[in-house]
Amino acid sequence: MLGFAIMTLFTGAISDALGRRSITLIALFVYSAASLGCALATDIETFLWLRFLQGVAASVGIVIGRAVVRDLYSGADAQRMMSNVMLFFAMAPAIAPVIGGLLEVNAGWRYVFYFLMLLGLLVLFLVAAYLPETLPEEERHSMHPVRLLKNYLHAMTHAKFTALALIVAFNFAGFFIYIMSSPQLLFIHLGFAADEFYLMFVPVVLGIMLGSYASARLSGYFTIIKIVAIGSAIMLFASVVNVLQAYVLEPVTFNIITPLVLYAIGMALTMPALTVLGLDQLPNNKGLASSLQSFMHMGGNALVAGLIAPLVFGSIAGLALAMLSFHVIALLLFFWVAGFSEPALKQDKAA
């Protein structure tokens, strides 16, 4: 995650200068090679460096995926397409433990990385065959250090853009802390086995799919602010219910998973709208904007995984309070952003 977060700072700017397609192809090759290296590693130091390289290469997917959407679509069409992109991005960390658990139990941990190598090669083939270059040469930007630094400083000091990116990051952190704590939650608190991850993650994935579908359907009928308000209300309700069940009810699967599914619905409903709205703040630097969105998102995930999760995964109540805390921070930022009029949030032409 650290490699992922660091590289997202540069991926968008590089693609703004050199194009989307070639960078994606190179990154997928590196990802596949690093995955094979992880499978063959014989010592932990080499393994961890290769994992870092995996993260560096993987960062290209979400950054350039978002930028390609904004290259090709605008308005409600962009939000609908972003819903599809965010569906896969949100589903991945929920599906991965199920696949990883099955591979580890039936074949051993090295086959997790053989699987990832094959997955990387499959996506490499699909990109080579079906993804055209979406950024014409006349729309590309110079990578001159002074201009690049100026663009970064402008983006990082753009209050509305930063707030929108942080809302996504904090909302996802409330969900992601359960992903990172799933071994403790499932093995220790609920008594599951490694091949029973699906009991938690299948309902959560269905919730993500439902939220993403609703986001796509509502995009032509409601404003972005209204869609985010609906999703935020669902997440707040789920977070409060989650805290109450942690203190009042028995720690059984239904009581713990149901609030997570509700939260996943609300999160998936808001993510595409917030992402599109954030990219619209910097219309002339969509790749760089996508980079910074991903950096804040994945940097937050790295902090959750390394610092926050170990502090709270010892108790179900600790996890529930962490979810509520993350969402409340996101909600406060949303209230601030919602104070702007809709036209004021559309685009910053000076960006």
Q: Which of 258, 254, 221, 216 is nearest to 237 (CA)?
A: 258
Residue 344 is predicted with a pLDDT of 55
Mean pLDDT, the chain, rounded, equals: 85
Gap between the Cα atoms of 74 and 14, Å rounded:
22
Residue 194 is predicted with a pLDDT of 63
**pLDDT greater than 90 at residue 34:** yes
Residue 340 is predicted with a pLDDT of 63
Residue 235 is predicted with a pLDDT of 96
Contact indicator for 67, 131 with CB cutoff of 8 Å = no
Residue 266 is predicted with a pLDDT of 94
pTM: 0.74
Q: What is the mean pLDDT of residues 335-340?
A: 81
Domain boundaries of the chain, sorted by first residue: 2-131+144-338
**pLDDT greater than 50 at residue 244:** yes
Gap between the Cα atoms of 297 and 167, Å rounded:
9
The CATH class for the domain spanning 2-131+144-338 reads mainly alpha
Task: Tell me the one-letter amino acid at 308.
Answer: I
Q: What are phi and psi of 245, to 5 degrees?
A: -65, -30
The two most distant CA atoms of the chain are separated, in Å, by 61
Choose the weakest-confidence range: 36-50, 89-103, 169-183, 324-338: 89-103
Task: Tell me the one-letter amino acid at 349.
Answer: K
pLDDT, tens digit (0-9, with 9 covering 90-100), for 80-139 = 787 777 777 767 776 787 788 889 888 989 999 999 999 999 999 999 999 888 888 777
Residue 255 to residues 97, 180, 205, 210, Cα–Cα distance (Å): 21, 19, 17, 20
User: What share of the chain in percent tops pLDDT 90?
Assistant: 33
Instruction: Describe the chain by its helix, strand, coil percentages, rounded to 5.
Output: 85, 0, 15
Residue 287 is predicted with a pLDDT of 74
- Centre a 10 Å sphere on the Cβ of residue 180 and count the other Cβ atoms it contains: 20
Categorize the per-residue pLDDT at 347 as very low, low, confident or very high, splitting at 50, 70 and 90.
very low
User: What share of the chain in percent tops pLDDT 70?
Assistant: 94
Categorize the per-residue pLDDT at 222 as very low, low, confident or very high, splitting at 50, 70 and 90.
confident
More confident residue, 229 or 75: 229
Choose the weakest-confidence range: 53-57, 81-85, 249-253, 297-301: 81-85
Gap between the Cα atoms of 329 and 319, Å rounded:
16
Q: What are phi and psi of 349, to 5 degrees?
A: -65, -20
**pLDDT greater than 90 at residue 12:** no
Residue 247 is predicted with a pLDDT of 92
Q: What is the mean pLDDT of residues 151-166?
A: 87
Buried b / exposed e over 130-154, threshold 16 CB at 10 Å, is ebeebbeeeeebeeeeeebeebbeb
Query: How many helices, marked H, and strands, marked E, lie in the chain?
Result: 15, 0
Residue 348 is predicted with a pLDDT of 43
Q: What is the mean pLDDT of residues 234-253?
A: 91
Residue 138 C-beta-side C-alpha neighbours within 13 Å? 0
